[in-house]
């Protein structure tokens, strides 16, 4: 063990040595032959996330040779134009390999569509032709990477052109977030989806669940004996879930002005992470059983008392400041944002899970843009020791233990505890046992999008959001959104400086409960 600097406010960090593998290395899973049709293929998501993920999966030989991609969008381009556009995007990827790209790009095709039935016929013809050529067995993955306003139309047309039918191969649809704008609109979208596809064909994606350390929550909790006995209200004082971004809205004002932080982060990523932390162990590790347990957590969420909303919710918006040593403009100065916009870019929310395990244990959820650092972590804050037996020896009281699951940027598991400080005088110090999650792993590292794309192709739905889960999450959040956006009890939107940890009111939310946020 060596001692280094702590990145919490503890005094020392203990690094855990490399852990010897307990068995044979895990085998990779290889998806079957298939094709992927991306609608909105000229957009940001395709360039920044989907195409780099597909390229890496091909380069690492995880995707089979019998695989091709059809990009579809309204922009005028031919296959070569699309390949050039994607190459420019993928070149940004670490260890770009020109040869591997050349091979991969031969499997990329593009069709300009105006989303009319005729242009869908063109896509269908292209699929028939290329499926023959690539031997993909008519397995088709349709990916909606357009603005959500286009989802229903595309789904209807896929259905009416027979593209949702399964026969020789499977047909699946991947729907990006945001899945609706509130409970009512999500249900309307749901109706269209389920009129044209069966639930088992639908993949409501939350790429956040593809992050290694989110999945690892289940392994840590249920593959070890030591955590479960203390994973409850008897030992846990509270839980914090933070998804902090240092970026602003990156030119996506059109989307963000409609969404705000509660829709963008809470309805999906944060509530899903909460579900992994709070869920009960399923009897076996199987998609539907795991999803059942996550859904039960949503069912147990205590509705927020809208008349006392400000006791549970703080919202804020970034003002000009400095992030990472660079000047950052305020939200309302961003291009495309209304000068009087009240859209929150930060929220902190206190919630409770009303069940035997978690009764009266607060879960403090927090997310914001243009914060001091980009980091996501879960902190399980334990209760203090029942009796301060060192009180005569030590001037200060002993603080509680904490278990920290860092999701990004660097994936780690940390335990904060107390030890004796070496030396003649008896005093304690607060140390951090630190396990970098990727330590000792030499296999292929998959990004969140790579992982969820593989799962769609394999038909594994564990990391996807089921219909009931999606509706319950919206059902919990929609009254809060309505009150926060236009109700008479609408909370103030507190300004915070870009580069800070959010508005002071968010600190007060915890301070009044005698607690404080754990930052990086």
CA angle 58, 63, 64 (to 5 degrees): 110
Q: Does 148 bind ligand NDP (CB under 6 A)?
A: yes
Least distance between ligand NDP and beta carbon 467 (Å) = 19
The pair of three-digit structure tokens given for residue 517, joined into one six-digit string:
């946020």
Nearest-CB residue to ligand NDP? 43
Identify which of residues 147 and 479 has a Cβ nearer to ligand NDP in the complex: 147
Rule CB under 6 A: choose which of 8, 93, 100, 150 binds ligand NDP.
150
Scanning 100-108, 172-180, 356-364, 372-380 for contacts with ligand NDP by CB under 6 A, the matching segment is 172-180
Question: Contacting ligand NDP (CB under 6 A), which of 8, 12, 44, 124?
Answer: 44
Token code pair at residue 51: 């195409």
**Applying CB under 6 A, which of residues 145, 456, 465, 480 lies at the interface with ligand NDP?**
145
| Contact status: 221 vs ligand NDP (CB under 6 A) | no
Residue 39 CB neighbour total at 10 angstroms: 24
x-or-dash string of contact with ligand NDP, 390-409, rule CB under 6 A: --------------------
Which of 34, 36, 37, 45 binds ligand NDP (CB under 6 A)? It is: 45
Least distance in Å: CB of 157 to ligand NDP? 12
**CA–centroid distance for 193 within its chain:** 23
Q: Between residues 116 and 511, which has the closer beta carbon with respect to ligand NDP? A: 116
Structure-block tokens of residue 456: 């769609």
* 293-332 residues near ligand NDP, rule: CB under 6 A: none
Kindly state the smallest distance separating residue 449's Cβ from ligand NDP, in Å: 9
Nearer to ligand NDP, 150 or 495 (CB): 150
**With CB under 6 A as the contact rule, which of the stretches 23-31, 143-151, 414-422, 479-487 interacts with ligand NDP?**
143-151
Kindly tell me which residue out of 147, 159, 321, 459 binds ligand NDP, with binding defined by CB under 6 A. Answer: 147
Radius of gyration of the chain measured on its C-alpha atoms: 24
Q: Is 238 a catalytic residue?
A: no
**Inter-residue contact 361 to 234 (CB < 8 Å):** no
Buried b / exposed e along 83-98 (16+ C-beta atoms within 10 A): bebbbebbeebeeeee
Distance CA 433, CA 26 (A): 26
Give me the numbers of helices (H) and strands (E) for the chain, helices first please: 14, 19
Considering only the stretches 125-133, 170-178, 428-436, 462-470, report the one whose residues sit in contact with ligand NDP under the rule CB under 6 A: 170-178
CA separation for the pair 230, 80 (Å, rounded): 58
Least Å distance, CB 112 to ligand NDP, is 8
Residues 71-90 that bind ligand NDP (CB under 6 A): 73-75
| Contact call for residues 266 and 301 (beta carbons, < 8 A) | no
Q: Which is nearer to ligand NDP, 85 or 309 (CB)?
A: 85
Q: What angle do CA 232, 474, 295 make, to 5 degrees?
A: 40
How many residues make up the chain in this entry? Answer: 520
From residue 351, how far is each of 170, 182, 509, 518 by CA, in Å? 40, 19, 12, 17
Query: Binding residues for ligand NDP, how many (CB under 6 A)?
Result: 20
Of 95, 149, 283, 424, the residue at the interface with ligand NDP (CB under 6 A) is 149
Provide CB contacts within 8 A for 443, sequence distance 6+.
25, 26, 28
Closest approach, Cβ 22 to ligand NDP, in A, equals 36
Q: Which of 207, 269, 387, 418 is catalytic?
A: 269
Nearest Cα neighbor of 132 from 104, 156, 168 is 168
Give CA–CA dist 469/204, Å, rounded: 10
State which of residues 111, 172, 177, 416 lies at the interface with ligand NDP (CB under 6 A).
177
Under rule CB under 6 A, residue 146 binds ligand NDP: yes
Rounded to a whole number of angstroms, the minimum distance from the CB of residue 172 to ligand NDP is 17
- Smallest distance from the beta carbon of 343 to ligand NDP, in angstroms? 15
Among 13, 14, 35, 40, binds ligand NDP (CB under 6 A): 40
Contacts with ligand NDP in 223-282 (CB under 6 A)? Answer: 255
The two structure tokens encoding residue 395? 């001037």
The greatest distance separating any two alpha carbons of the chain, rounded to the nearest whole angstrom, comes to 84
DSSP assignment of 23-46 equals: SSPPPPP-PPSEEEEEETTTSHHI
**What is d(CA 86, CA 107) in angstroms, rounded to the nearest whole number?**
12
Please report whether residue 180 would count as binding ligand NDP according to CB under 6 A: no
The first and second tokens of residue 302, run together, are 């205590």
In sequence order, the 6+-apart residues with CB closer than 8 A to the CB of 180 are 148, 186, 187, 188, 189, 190, 474
Least distance from ligand NDP to the Cβ atom of residue 110, Å: 10
Contact window for ligand NDP (CB under 6 A) among 70-78, 179-187, 302-310, 367-375: 70-78
DSSP symbols for 58-109 = HHTT-S-SSEEEEEEESS---HHHHHHHHHHHHTTSTT--HHHHHHHHTTEE
Q: Which is nearer to ligand NDP, 149 or 424 (CB)?
A: 149
Nearest-CA neighbor of 225 among 156, 281, 297? Answer: 281
Residue 43 touching ligand NDP (CB under 6 A)? yes
Query: Rounded to the nearest whole angstrom, what is the least distance from the CB of residue 443 to ligand NDP in the complex?
Result: 26
Q: Which range of residues in 57-65, 139-147, 341-349, 409-417 is near ligand NDP by CB under 6 A?
A: 139-147
Tell me which residues are annotated as active site: 269
Binding residues for ligand NDP (CB under 6 A): 40, 42-45, 48-49, 73-75, 145-150, 176-178, 255
């Amino acid at each position: 063990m060596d001692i280094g600097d702590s990145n919490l406010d503890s005094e020392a960090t203990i690094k855990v040595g490399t852990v010897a593998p307990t068995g044979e290395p895990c085998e990779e899973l290889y998806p079957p032959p298939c094709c992927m049709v991306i609608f909105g293929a000229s957009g940001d998501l395709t360039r920044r996330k989907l195409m780099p993920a597909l390229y890496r999966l091909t380069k690492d030989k995880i995707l089979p040779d019998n695989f091709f991609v059809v990009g579809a969008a309204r922009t005028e381009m031919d296959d070569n134009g699309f390949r050039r556009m994607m190459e420019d995007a993928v070149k940004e990827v670490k260890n770009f390999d020109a040869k591997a790209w050349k091979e991969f790009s031969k499997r990329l095709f593009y069709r300009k569509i105006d989303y009319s039935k005729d242009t869908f016929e063109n896509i269908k013809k292209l699929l028939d032709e290329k499926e023959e050529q690539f031997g993909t067995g008519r397995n088709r993955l349709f990916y909606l990477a357009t603005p959500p306003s286009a989802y229903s139309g595309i789904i209807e047309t896929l259905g009416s052109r027979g593209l949702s039918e399964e026969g020789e191969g499977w047909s699946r649809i991947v729907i990006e977030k945001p899945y609706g704008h509130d409970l009512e609109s999500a249900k309307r979208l749901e109706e269209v989806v389920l009129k044209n596809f069966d639930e088992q064909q639908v993949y409501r994606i939350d790429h956040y669940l593809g992050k290694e350390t989110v999945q690892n929550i289940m392994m840590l909790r249920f593959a070890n004996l030591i955590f479960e006995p203390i994973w409850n209200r008897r030992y846990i004082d509270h839980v914090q879930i933070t998804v902090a971004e240092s970026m602003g809205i990156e030119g996506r004002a059109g989307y963000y002005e409609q969404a705000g932080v509660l829709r963008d982060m809470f309805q999906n990523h944060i509530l899903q992470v909460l579900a992994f932390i709070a869920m009960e162990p399923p009897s076996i590790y199987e998609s539907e059983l795991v999803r059942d347990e996550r859904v039960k957590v949503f069912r147990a969420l205590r509705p927020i008392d809208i008349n006392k909303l400000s006791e549970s919710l703080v919202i804020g918006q970034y003002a000009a400041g400095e992030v990472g040593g660079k000047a950052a403009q305020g939200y309302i100065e961003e291009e495309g944002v209304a000068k009087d916009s009240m859209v929150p870019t930060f929220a902190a929310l206190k919630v409770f899970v009303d069940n035997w395990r978690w009764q009266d244990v607060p879960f403090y959820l927090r997310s914001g843009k243009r914060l001091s650092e980009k980091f996501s972590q879960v902190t399980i804050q334990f209760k203090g020791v029942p009796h301060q037996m060192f009180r005569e020896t030590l001037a200060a009281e002993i603080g509680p233990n904490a278990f920290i699951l860092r999701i990004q940027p660097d994936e780690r598991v940390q335990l904060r505890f107390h030890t004796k400080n070496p030396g003649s005088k008896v005093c304690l110090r607060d140390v951090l046992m630190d396990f970098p999650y990727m330590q000792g792993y030499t296999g292929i590292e998959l990004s969140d999008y790579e992982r969820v794309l593989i799962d769609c192709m394999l038909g594994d739905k564990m990391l996807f959001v089921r219909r009931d889960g999606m509706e319950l999450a919206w059902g919990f959040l929609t009254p809060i959104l309505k009150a926060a956006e236009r109700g008479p009890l609408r909370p103030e939107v507190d300004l915070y400086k870009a580069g800070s940890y959010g508005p002071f009111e968010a600190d007060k939310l915890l301070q009044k409960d005698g607690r404080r946020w754990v930052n990086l």
